[in-house]
Amino acid sequence: MTATRNAVPSAGSGSLARTGRLAALGLGVALFASACGGGATAPSNGGTTGAGAASGLSCPSTGSGAQATEHPTGNPAKVPASKGSTDKPLKLGTLLPTTGTLAYLGPPEIAAVNLAVKDINAAGGVLGKDISVVHRDSGDTTTDIATQSVDEMLGQGVSAIIGAASSSVSMNVIDKITRAGVLQISPANTSPAFSTYDDNGLYFRTAPSDVLQGRTLGSYMISCGAQTLGMIVLNDPYGTGLQKNVKEAFTQAGGQVVAEEMFNTGDSQFGSQVDSVVAAKPDAIALITFEEVKSIAPLLLAKGIKPEQLFLVDGNTADLSKDLDKGTMEGAQGTIPGTFAKTDFRKRLATVDSKLKDYAYAGEAYDATTLVALAAEAAGSTDGKEIAKQMQAVSEDGDKCYDFAACVTLLREGKDIDYDGISGPISFDKNGDPTEAYVGIYKYDAANVPKPVREEFGKL
């Protein structure tokens, strides 16, 4: 994410359908038009949910829909031997949060990387050698942990670094990584700033730019019946980038933003921002924050705002069951880029981390690891610059494949591949951005746990 993601529970015991498919987002104004009046929408479970009925809002109905299509997978035992070789086995590093404001994002991302490494090595590794991974903490922007971690990993000769989760943290270290000739790929950076950043062709991400999340959230609030919007926003690249795109989508669809209040990283008092937004009497309030939501949401609710009026983003749509009284957030909603973690994937993640409860950006982390490995095989090299040259090629315009074993088999048979992963299609553009992706919409239950309710697919 731009800042980063929260661990989010997956959908019950089964997979949710790919609902509300969008051919293209364009300006994003009509993103949810079909949800309200026909077309490709989430299958109804019989009647509307009325997510915001108490506050005058009524969001599109949701339903479990059909089970997701099962994709064919490869057989690790039957992968042909690599036609290439390397004296330097592929070594990866991760720069993911185990401390700081985004520490809840670390466990699912780290578990997913470990699972991908396990799967890759089960299929014979890359260029005939097992790959390895070094994990280091990214911390957050209040510390210099990320810089120290990057220095350590570069000293160990990693070819690629997976991370950071926070866009701001990545901005602090991207030059150090890419100027060293090392590939950087984030599973969670969403700041639009990376799309045009001078990274020597070495930066990629498997999470979509917040242009997509912003359009989705702005249009979704309109579909719920909101005509006026208040916003409380973290003043950093993540917050302001997302704010811009939410505002554009909301206003272009006919809504009016009546209050925009900012705060800075490290702030702990939010009374003035809350008072200003409440005074504007908005139909909906977008909270573009990180863990500050634990303080801001109760203040808003104490002023008479209903939970159904609150709309969160990937930086704060987290499990709040241990932080707030039961029922506090019931009915609030949030968006997180990426498809929902399906049952099989959750079970496989448990083989590497049995205590895992959250899954935000796990799919994107798994796919980031797999794509680097496939690109290294395609390049016949574990050099970061050579791997980067093949990243776009293995993600688009070839034979569809859905896991490392199947994809590397095709590569070794001399075929071009198009990897579609756990998080959905990737299809990197020349800037290292995915050009298509899902955005999940989650709704808080009585225990203050966000539950997935629908997915929206869009192209950039």
Residue 53 has pLDDT above 90, yes or no: no
Residue partners of 5: CB distance under 8 A and separation at least 6: 102, 105, 165, 188, 314, 315, 336, 360, 361
Q: What is the pLDDT of residue 369?
A: 98
Q: What is the mean pLDDT of the chain?
A: 87
Residue 432 has pLDDT above 90, yes or no: yes
How crowded is the C-beta side of 231, counted as CA atoms within 13 Å?
25
Q: What is the pLDDT of residue 79?
A: 97
Residue 50 has pLDDT above 60, yes or no: no
Strand pairing report for 160-163 and 183-186 = parallel
Q: What is the pLDDT of residue 445?
A: 97
Residue 23 has pLDDT above 60, yes or no: no
Q: What is the pLDDT of residue 340?
A: 84
Q: Give the span between the Cα atoms of 174 and 432, in whole angstroms.
A: 14
Confidence tier at 238 by pLDDT (50, 70, 90): confident
Residue 38 has pLDDT above 70, yes or no: no
Q: What is the pLDDT of residue 431?
A: 95
As a whole number, mean pLDDT of residues 376-388 equals 98
Q: Which of 13-22, 215-224, 247-256, 298-307 has the weakest average pLDDT?
A: 13-22
Q: Give the span between the Cα atoms of 165 and 156, in whole angstroms.
A: 21
As a whole number, mean pLDDT of residues 105-116 equals 97
Q: Give the span between the Cα atoms of 181 and 158, in whole angstroms.
A: 10
- Could you report the per-residue pLDDT of 72-90, keeping only the tens digit for each? 889 999 999 999 999 999 9
Q: Can you read off the two tokens belonging to residue 110?
A: 């780290």
Residue 442 has pLDDT above 70, yes or no: yes
As a whole number, mean pLDDT of residues 342-360 equals 92
As a whole number, mean pLDDT of residues 92-104 equals 94
Residue 166 has pLDDT above 70, yes or no: yes
- For CA atoms 454, 456, 457, 460, give the dihedral sign: negative
Answer with the residue of higher pLDDT: 190 or 250: 250
Confidence tier at 242 by pLDDT (50, 70, 90): very high
Q: What is the pLDDT of residue 21?
A: 31
Residue 348 has pLDDT above 50, yes or no: yes
Residue partners of 50: CB distance under 8 A and separation at least 6: 58, 59
Residue that the structure tokens 């981390």 belong to = 353
As a whole number, mean pLDDT of residues 54-73 equals 64
Q: Can you read off the two tokens belonging to residue 382?
A: 């574990």
What does the DSSP assignment read for 174-200? HHHHHTTT-EEEESS---GGGGG---T
Q: Give the span between the Cα atoms of 364 and 207, in whole angstroms.
A: 6
